[in-house]
Chains A and B, each alone.
Chain A
């Protein structure tokens, strides 16, 4: 099937969010001819949804801030499971990445002396988030988009073609990473608009596809978040790391039902918003865990004083890391102290004048006004946990962002694992995108330049990928399938998957339910093979969903299996049957590797799925980094042996 159009590029970036665009900019500036592929229009990536800010220790708002403090906060937030070298690089390089955005035209909110203003956020010791109102993600994506355009303008001046060195393939989906032996040789993709297949041949591929939230029913994530990158890497033979850690953002909208899950930014709390239950009580004071006891206020008065005088008071517990707040809200609702629509109250109306709310939180004000008919300057919001972010992801080398085991494959952003450990701090996501997006682009360009003899694209792989992509159009003819049956509606399968993950592998997990989930996933996998679609290949959403189902099912299995395996509670993984954090699990990584053959016909037996788990021990944290913490704190996380070393 050599009719498939082929193009040669040096670096292919899959995904055009913050990480993908930053990678593409870097690769192009390093001289690599770079192609970017994204499922949506250019500039619509999920990064635009990020509201709060970019965490970077620039010390503009508090001079005591430094990369060491940022590193410490990040490790605390991640409960010491972070790939510490990533956290170190991240804390060190984030300020440069933010400043660089200004040279590309970004306009952050300013301090009185003209520098970038920084705001408070959960888990950050000092005000650290560079922001633009509550639309920081939009500013980030637009700045990167405009930087790409400016590079294209340079190329146009030189070559007469805007796209000679940097091209964005928008509204295209990658379904397979192609390989030449163990090396990456390119990607197989289709145009959503026409359904036409094409192959981009390249020695280096950067995966920057974001997260997996669309496998859950209540989520803040957009339709694009179907775990494509995770699945592409896994199918290409690269392992996924710690997939059990899924962050439920504590404050998503709970009403009306059609917007359930849409995010209410953490800045609402950072700027003074408080959580109350139906009895009017600020319940977070009852939920400060022992490891954080010394860092948080014990009374409302102290918490309130902190906004004005952070040096002499401790922060209010509403600003605990997200996992703690999400669990607390969950408990309050379960105990019958929830709001009418099953959340709790988040109130700014009694804390700030209406005019200040409208200025500091403009898009929240509009979001509630227009979607829920609630005026947040006059009444409290109703909020509850929503699936927001996956800490787990492609296992990568900390310095180069190279995926393990597949030369030429790189990953950055949410799709990469390790950086955030078991729980991500707010604001660390945007800085992660920039720091590791740049590193991925840098090393991908280096890898492409150092490659001798371009890898060859195997026709058989292209044919197989094309056949796989076309299967939904001939669902009835699936006679050779292990379990034959009528064609399935892909929308129905998707809805069942979301319900399953939400109910059985959600915010609080139990062994029995997860086993049930694995059983259910196995059944859905078989039904998904029969997902059939009507119509033709031109912009057919039913077909697109049928193809995305493969990825969501694969990733969901990783989450469920890893969650079943880790018998402790840590960060974004809470086991009702193992409620304590175990020091013995602190240095254990769970890797998902493809079971052989991962892309063969699905197996019916839930015990024997598409992936298997491998345990590995993490690298010991470098002593100079450990020395940044007090001994008393380390004792809570590290085992005796680790401490003595």
Chain B
């Protein structure tokens, strides 16, 4: 087993300020960036704050930016870097920093609450749900999401424009709307909730300019843009920009 010393630059600080700190640290065969961060903790910087949990790419806790790209620390293998390269690790740059590599991801939890939940169909009891695999495939892809929020971090709509955070739910939660709209038994429509219309009106679907960074960074390989966001845009078009529907609503409104 071979090992070598790598150069790391890790952002340390908090909301009051901070900067990149240099470290030289041992790296062994087969390790990932999170292993190195842990070695820094146990040998050089015991109070280096980092969020992590499963260390197997299943929980989506250790999101950060490595050499400027949003990544999961536990799924970024050291072998992808050149040994002489300096590896820069920073917190997610779209969210307020708490300390070191830990950011306040509360934005995402707030947005999660704004998406109306699954509406169970009337008159279908537990155990009576019948759905076919081809009907659940689409939503299942979106439910692979581990909520690492890398898509939310990389999306320029909020990353570069703090002021858009109120109006825009972000790729993760627009995908949630798509998931529910494609759920074969979701009864939102029957209950008077038009998910397609609210995607545009309340969750800011129009802000998305489909530049696909969310898809690029997704560690689960979910095709967010092609399979969730664009189909959702098309569904919104069905509701809002179809001239026949529009004309119909104008004509019917006139008498009143």
Q: Indicate whether A and B interact.
A: yes
Is A153 positioned at the interface, with any CB of B under 8 Å from its CB? Answer: yes
**Which residues of B are found within 8 Å of A535, using beta-carbon distances?**
46-47
The 0/1 profile, CB within 8 Å of A marked 1, for residues 54-65 of chain B is 111111110000
Q: Is B42 in contact with A489, judged by CB distance below 8 angstroms?
A: yes
**Which residues of B are found within 8 Å of A363, using beta-carbon distances?**
58
For A40, give its contact among B53, B57, B180 (CB under 8 Å).
Answer: B53
Q: Do A49 and B129 form a contact, CB below 8 Å, given A107-B139, A371-B32?
A: no
Task: Count contacts on B: residues with CB < 8 A to the other chain.
Answer: 60
**Which residues of B are found within 8 Å of A539, using beta-carbon distances?**
49, 98-100, 102
Min CB distance, A497 to chain B, in Å?
14
The 0/1 profile, CB within 8 Å of B marked 1, for residues 362-383 of chain A is 0100110011110000000000
The 0/1 profile, CB within 8 Å of B marked 1, for residues 133-161 of chain A is 10100110010001101101100100000
Main secondary structure of the interface of B (DSSP, over half): loop
Min CB distance, B256 to chain A, in Å?
29
Is B105 positioned at the interface, with any CB of A under 8 Å from its CB? Answer: yes
**Which residues of B are found within 8 Å of A40, using beta-carbon distances?**
51, 53, 59, 61
Residue of A nearest to B46 (CB): A542
| Residue picked from B42, B58, B109, most chain A C-beta under 10 Å | B58
Is A629 positioned at the interface, with any CB of B under 8 Å from its CB? Answer: no
Q: Is A135 in contact with B183, judged by CB distance below 8 angstroms?
A: no
Is B251 positioned at the interface, with any CB of A under 8 Å from its CB? Answer: no
The 0/1 profile, CB within 8 Å of B marked 1, for residues 223-248 of chain A is 11000000000000000000000000
Min CB distance, B122 to chain A, in Å?
11
Is B136 positioned at the interface, with any CB of A under 8 Å from its CB? Answer: yes
Is A524 positioned at the interface, with any CB of B under 8 Å from its CB? Answer: no
Q: Do A149 and B113 form a contact, CB below 8 Å, given A99-B127, A109-B133, A535-B47?
A: yes
Is B18 positioned at the interface, with any CB of A under 8 Å from its CB? Answer: no
**Which residues of A are found within 8 Å of B146, using beta-carbon distances?**
48, 138
Q: Is A105 in contact with B133, judged by CB distance below 8 angstroms?
A: no
Is B214 positioned at the interface, with any CB of A under 8 Å from its CB? Answer: no
Q: Is A193 in contact with B98, judged by CB distance below 8 angstroms?
A: yes
Min CB distance, B218 to chain A, in Å?
12
Q: Is B54 in contact with A256, judged by CB distance below 8 angstroms?
A: no
Q: Is A222 in contact with B136, judged by CB distance below 8 angstroms?
A: no
Tell me the residues in window 346-367 of chain A with beta carbons closer than 8 Å to chain B beta carbons: 363, 366-367
Is B206 positioned at the interface, with any CB of A under 8 Å from its CB? Answer: no
| Residue picked from A42, A153, A258, A539, most chain B C-beta under 10 Å | A258
Min CB distance, A567 to chain B, in Å?
37
Residue of A nearest to B121 (CB): A103
Q: Is B183 in contact with A367, judged by CB distance below 8 angstroms?
A: no
State A326–B51 Cα separation when bound (angstroms).
32
Residue of A nearest to B110 (CB): A162
Q: Do A44 and B56 form a contact, CB below 8 Å, given A95-B127, A107-B131, A153-B116?
A: no
Min CB distance, A540 to chain B, in Å?
5
Is B77 positioned at the interface, with any CB of A under 8 Å from its CB? Answer: yes
Is A292 positioned at the interface, with any CB of B under 8 Å from its CB? Answer: no
Is B28 positioned at the interface, with any CB of A under 8 Å from its CB? Answer: yes
Min CB distance, A191 to chain B, in Å?
11
The 0/1 profile, CB within 8 Å of A marked 1, for residues 29-54 of chain B is 11110010000011000111111111
**Which residues of A are found within 8 Å of B52, using beta-carbon distances?**
223
**Which residues of A are found within 8 Å of B102, using beta-carbon distances?**
193, 539
State A83–B83 Cα separation when bound (angstroms).
55
Q: Is A367 in contact with B118, judged by CB distance below 8 angstroms?
A: no
Tell me the residues in window 128-148 of chain B with beta carbons closer than 8 Å to chain A beta carbons: 129-133, 136, 139-140, 143-147
The 0/1 profile, CB within 8 Å of B marked 1, for residues 535-576 of chain A is 110111111000000000000000000000000000000000
Q: Is A103 in contact with B54, judged by CB distance below 8 angstroms?
A: no
**Which residues of A are found within 8 Å of B77, using beta-carbon distances?**
370-371
Q: Is B99 in contact with A114, judged by CB distance below 8 angstroms?
A: no
Q: Is A542 in contact with B131, judged by CB distance below 8 angstroms?
A: no
Is A41 positioned at the interface, with any CB of B under 8 Å from its CB? Answer: yes
Min CB distance, B134 to chain A, in Å?
9
Q: Is B57 in contact with A44, judged by CB distance below 8 angstroms?
A: no
> Given A146-B118, A536-B47, 16 other A-B contacts at CB below 8 A?
A58-B127, A99-B129, A102-B129, A105-B180, A138-B58, A150-B117, A150-B118, A153-B113, A222-B55, A223-B53, A371-B32, A489-B42, A538-B49, A538-B99, A539-B99, A539-B100
Enumerate 11 A-B pairs (CB-CB under 8 Å) in ascending A order: A40-B61, A58-B127, A107-B143, A150-B117, A222-B53, A257-B1, A370-B57, A371-B77, A538-B98, A542-B46, A543-B47
Q: Which 7 A-B pairs have the closest CB atoms?
A: A256-B30, A150-B117, A105-B118, A535-B47, A114-B130, A491-B42, A99-B126
